[in-house]
Amino acid sequence: MMTNKVERLIDANLNRLREGIRVLEDINRYIYNSKALTSKLKHLRHSIAKAYDTNRIAHRDIAGDVQKQTIASELNRQSIDDILIANFSRAQESARVLEESFKLVSVELSQHFKTIRYELYALEKEQYIKEVQ
pLDDT by residue for the chain (133 residues), tens only, comes to: 458 889 899 999 999 999 999 999 999 999 999 999 999 999 999 999 999 888 888 777 676 776 666 656 666 778 999 999 999 999 999 999 999 999 998 999 999 999 999 999 999 999 988 665 5
pLDDT at 1: 45
* Furthest CA-CA distance within the chain: 49
Residue 20 class from Cβ within 10 Å (0-12 exposed, 13-18 middle, 19+ buried)? buried
What's the CA gap between 109 and 100, in Å, rounded?
10
pTM over 0.85: yes
Please state the domain extents for the chain. Answer: 4-61+77-132
Looking at residue 59, its pLDDT comes to 77
